[in-house]
Structure 1
Amino acid sequence: MLLGSIEAGGTKFIAAVGDEHMNIIDTVTVPTTKPDETMEQISNFFSRYHLDALGVGSFGPIDVDEKSQTFGYITSTPKSFWRDYNFVGYLKQKLNVPVAWTTDVNAAGYGEYLLGNANGTESCLYLTIGTGIGGGFINKGQILNAFSHPEMGHVFIKRHPDDTFEGICPFHKNCLEGMASGPAVEKRWGKKGVELADQSFVWELEAYYLAQALISYTLILRPERIILGGGLMKQKQIFKLIRNEFHAMLNDYVEVPDLETYIQPVGLNDQAGIIGGLLLAKNKLKG
């Protein structure tokens, strides 16, 4: 069995071919430019293999309603070239294989739920904190979608009393993504997060905002585990800060697991999205 996976990000696409045991056979990375350029390179890569199914985790917003006329489309993205793009339709036309379709964070969360640091739990909240902020929730093996997929990066948060940064979200200014994403950190401090690793006040402020969001998700969803991925979460020192802020803000209102267990980094590292796509492709064949 050969399975395909696409992690479609705003900066780059990663495509992979693997087997049913999640062994990766081949990969390619392609810049996210215009759909005709990027997708042609992706389809050419897969055309060298006889795939049985393909799993896609894409940047969004996307249409995940299988009853919708625009199912499989990227919809109201700020990336103008990709707005209202029929992603799944293109893949089916070019490759003629079943396609499992979800958000990039849902795919990564699914990978973490089955094979990463949420393995063995019944519910997992996955968040990526990088170029953007997004989240997905897996409960008893099912990805949460309702009217559409969640947009957890745009929850509203309380500004820190000492923070005068206005936020960068083009829709909401000071939502979570506007205040705590990688570009927000860079614009606030004038340097990328990786260049600020030894600046404790940077990560204390980041933890303040992320902990607020985790409190909201905890109270609404009550997950068994929270996994935090993305570029900013490679600063491992932030996890202790987040747990401390979370503990103080929650104030023992509801019971949660031990925080060392409850709030964890990714277990699959940068392959969570690709592994998740392969797992979803495998599931697609089961009907």
Structure 2
Amino acid sequence: MTLFGGIEAGGTKFVCAIGSGPNDIRAETRFPTTQPGETIEQAISFFQSQICQFGPLAAIGIASFGPVDPNPASATFGHITTTPKPGWAHTDLVGPIQQVLNLPIGFDTDVNGAALAEGRWGAAQGLDNFIYLTIGTGIGGGVMGNGRLLHGLIHPEMGHIPLPHDWEKDPFPGNCPYHSDCFEGMAAGPAIEKRWQSKGQHLPPNHPAWELEAHYIALALRSFICTLSPQRIILGGGVMEQAQLFPLVRQKTQATLNGYVQSPAILNQIDSYIVPPKLGSRAGVLGAIALAMAAI
């Protein structure tokens, strides 16, 4: 069986694996994201050792935190660009790995990778148009449009759209270093912690944080539904592990759309329209493997 390598390059940790899909992961490792040289070298060493054990790989996929340059025609293809993560701005991820391993490499954002995996094996199988959003340390989105990942100028930055901000009800100024009260600045995990002085996982299910969180997510989903017309929306990431959020987000999304989008998926089947990822926490590394498959 043809084997592929995958790297989920996260801002907190790297996850590396080889295999051919959800039911065939031959080896996997994870390690903290430290400095670029050290972290990339650990990834290379993992693949070198696994190739010795399992044989050659057909390609490697990298699904990375961003922003990134995913354009193969660009001089900075494979680079992380303007990330606020210390030491990682303008880091070449693809070059050092390709130089040592000499394999085709598929490269994209972590959320585009996860979207690709959910479309191939997960909650969006059979759909040509859908969104994958991760709401955690940051907020990012991957878009599948007419069966292809959306890129364009660079790639979607769905966490940085502006949202209506009622300063009287929510005086929190936002937490984004670029845009203050954008979607990520108001609703990502660090924003929850800064606003309420407690990490989200320590807040009880009936805490007012979750009504406010669902409000901001619903406002963002209204914009995405009206602009991208997805057939399904998948919400992943650590914040969405709060079980009480999905019913609140569904209800508030219906309310903020106010009947404008006359689709049974929204009006009558919202529980199967806004859904968690079927692949769970494995969506990222499986997305990297899916990117590797697409690279050959």
1:149 aligns with 2:149: no
1:42 aligns with 2:53: no
Structure 2 counterpart of 1:116, one-letter code: G
Q: CA deviation at 1:117?
A: 1.1
Q: CA deviation at 1:283?
A: 2.1
The aligned residue for residue 96 of structure 2 is 90
Residues of 2 paired with 1:262 and 1:148: CA distance?
27
The aligned residue for residue 190 of structure 2 is 183
The aligned residue for residue 231 of structure 1 is 238
The aligned residue for residue 214 of structure 1 is 221
Conservation of the 8 A alpha-carbon contact between 1:197 and 1:235 = no
Structure 2 counterpart of 1:94, one-letter code: V
The aligned residue for residue 273 of structure 2 is 262
1:11 aligns with 2:12: yes
Spell out the pairing of 1:182-201 with structure 2 (5 A cutoff): 182-201=189-208
Structure 2 counterpart of 1:264, one-letter code: V
Structure 2 counterpart of 1:271, one-letter code: R
Structure 1 residue runs of 5 or longer lacking an equivalent are none
Structure 1 counterpart of 2:259, one-letter code: D
Range moving further from structure 2, 19-28 or 67-76: 19-28
Q: CA deviation at 1:21?
A: 7.0
Change (3 A) 1:21 1:217: closer
Match of 2:78 among 72, 83, 86: 72
Structure 2 counterpart of 1:79, one-letter code: K
1:204 aligns with 2:208: no
Structure 1 counterpart of 2:7, one-letter code: I
Residues of 1 paired with 2:117 and 2:14: CA distance?
17
Alignment: residue pair count: 285
The aligned residue for residue 171 of structure 1 is 178
Match of 2:131 among 125, 140, 153: 125
Conservation of the 8 A alpha-carbon contact between 2:66 and 2:80 = yes
Residues of 2 paired with 1:219 and 1:208: CA distance?
17
Q: CA deviation at 1:181?
A: 0.2
Residues of 2 paired with 1:104 and 1:165: CA distance?
29
The aligned residue for residue 285 of structure 2 is 274
Task: State TM-score, norm by structure 2.
Answer: 0.93
Task: State TM-score, norm by structure 1.
Answer: 0.96
Residues of 2 paired with 1:79 and 1:29: CA distance?
19
Structure 2 counterpart of 1:266, one-letter code: P
Structure 2 residue runs of 5 or longer lacking an equivalent are none
The aligned residue for residue 114 of structure 2 is 108
1:163-184 CA distance string (max 9 Å, x none): 1111110011100100100010
Q: Give the RMSD, CA atoms, in angstroms.
A: 1.2
Match of 1:245 among 242, 248, 252: 252
Q: CA deviation at 1:140?
A: 3.3
1:99 aligns with 2:105: yes
4+ runs of 1 displaced by more than 3 Å?
none
| Percent identical residues | 47
Q: SS at the partner of 2:134?
A: strand
Residues of 2 paired with 1:114 and 1:98: CA distance?
20
Structure 2 counterpart of 1:135, one-letter code: G
